[in-house]
Amino acid sequence: MIVGILKEIKTEENRVSMTPAGVEVMTAKGHQVLVESLAGVGSGFSNEAYQAAGAEIVATAAEVYARSEMVMHVKEPQPSEYELIRPGQIVFTYFHFAACEELTRAMLKTGAIAIAYETIVDADNTLPLLTPMSEVAGRMAAQQAAKYSERAQGGRGILLGGVPGVPPANVLVIGGGVVGTHAAQMACGLGAKVYLLDTSLNRLRHLSEVMPKNCFPMMSSPATIRDLVQQADVVIGAVLVHGAKAPKLVTREMLKTMKKGAVLVDIAIDQGGCFETSRPTTHTTPTYEVDGILHYCVANMPGAVPLTSTVALTNATLPYAAAIAAEDWREVVRKHAGIRAGVNVACGKVTYQGVAEAFGLEYTPVDQLLISIP
C-alpha cells in the first residue's frame, strides 16, 4: 500500500504520525511511504532522516492525498483538507468526532474510511492508541496546573506542594482512568493533597492500593463534586466516555462556590469537555477566565512535548498501521475486531454509535455496511 504521512497544520501541533524508525518498518514490509516535506521537524526528525529510512519526501499535502491509499495524521483533518480526501481513501488519525459535527459531516461527504485511533480496542477492551497520549496529557495536566497556579499566570499564587509550615494545595481529579491516574500521580509527586474520583468501586479499590498516601480515591457523585470543588485549588477533568461526548460534571453554578484564582484543567476537551464553561483553547492562548476561575482547555496538550509524544504514539500505532496496510480495509475489519471498532465513518455512513447519537445521525453498524458493499 502507498501510505502518506502528513504535516500537522492544527495550531501549535508539532507531533508527526510516524517516526523514521516507523517508516523503516513499513518499507521493510513492502509498503511505499510518502512523507510531506518538513512533517517531522517539530518532533526533531529531518527530511533526510525519513529518506534514509526509505521514505519519499513529497512537497505538498495535496500530492500526499492524491497518491496515497491511506493517509495518517495525529489530529483530525482541518477544513482546508476536506476537499483533498477522496472516496474509499483510508484516513487514520485521532478524530474525536463526537465533539465536532462539522468534521463528522465533512468526512461523511468525502466517502472516505475514517479509522479513529481513539476507539480502536485491544483484546481486553482497553484503548491502546489513546493510552499513550492519555499518559502524556495526564502528566502534563499536573504540570500546567502548577504553572497556572502562580500569580503571574493568573492563579492564586500557591505552590502545589506547599513548604514546611504551609499546607499543600488541594487538587481534585475527576476520573480515575489512565488520564486521571497519571495526573494524580504527578500532583502527588509535587506534594499536593489529591482527591481522585471514579464511579467504579473495583477501580477505587485498585487505586487505594497503588496510589501514594497523599492521594484519596473517592466515589464520584454530583454531591461529592459540589463539596470538593469548594475546597479545591485545582480541578482536573479526566473523564472519558468511549467515542461519545464527555458529561458536564462541573457546572457554571459550582464555579461561584470556588476559590477565586483556582485552576480548571479540562483534559476531556477533545470530547467536548467535562466542565460546563469549557471551550477549546490553543497553546498560543491556553487560558481564559470565567467568574474568577482560570480555565486551561488546550485540545492538543501532548503537542507541546512532540518528541516524547511522537515516539510514544508511533510505538502504539505502528502495528495497527501495518495491519491496515497489509490488505483491503474490508478484509482487515472483518478479521480484526479491534480495528473494526475504530471505523467511525465509512462510505458516507456513520459506523460508530456514539457519534451517531451525538448529532442525531443514522447509525449503520460496520458489519451491516460490509454486507452492502462489494
Q: Which residues are catalytic?
A: 96, 270
Q: Is residue 299 part of an annotated ligand binding site?
A: yes
Q: Is residue 149 part of an annotated ligand binding site?
A: no
Q: Indicate the burial class of 368 (C-beta count within 10 angstroms; 0-12, 13-18, 19 or more).
A: exposed
Backbone torsions φ then ψ of 269, nearest 5 degrees? -60, -30
Q: Is residue 270 part of an annotated ligand binding site?
A: yes
Strands 263-266 and 234-237: parallel
Q: Is residue 298 part of an annotated ligand binding site?
A: yes
Q: C-alpha distances in angstroms, 286 versus 63, 191, 256, 283, 294?
A: 33, 25, 22, 5, 10
Q: How far is CA 317 from the centre of its chain?
A: 13
Q: Is residue 124 part of an annotated ligand binding site?
A: no
Residue 120 makes CB contacts below 8 A (sequence gap 6+) with 127, 128, 129, 320, 338, 339, 341, 342
Q: Is residue 220 part of an annotated ligand binding site?
A: yes
Q: Is residue 113 part of an annotated ligand binding site?
A: no
Backbone torsions φ then ψ of 286, nearest 5 degrees? -80, -20
CA 182 to CA 161: how far, in whole Å? 17
Q: Is residue 15 part of an annotated ligand binding site?
A: yes
Q: Is residue 269 part of an annotated ligand binding site?
A: yes
Residue with cell 502545589: 160
CA 178 to CA 175: how far, in whole Å? 9
Contact 122, 113 (CB under 8 A): no
Contact 73, 17 (CB under 8 A): yes
Q: Is residue 267 part of an annotated ligand binding site?
A: yes
Contact 4, 63 (CB under 8 A): no
Q: Is residue 244 part of an annotated ligand binding site?
A: no
Q: 100: which 3 cell numbers?
A: 465536532
Q: Is residue 55 part of an annotated ligand binding site?
A: no
Backbone torsions φ then ψ of 336, nearest 5 degrees? -120, 100
Q: Is residue 300 part of an annotated ligand binding site?
A: yes
Q: Is residue 75 part of an annotated ligand binding site?
A: yes
For 371, other C-beta atoms within 10 Å of its C-beta total 8
Query: Binding site for substrate: what residues are annotated?
Result: 15, 75
Query: Binding site for NAD(+): what residues are annotated?
Result: 134, 198, 203, 220, 239-240, 267-270, 279, 298-301
Query: Binding site: what residues are annotated?
Result: 15, 75, 134, 198, 203, 220, 239-240, 267-270, 279, 298-301
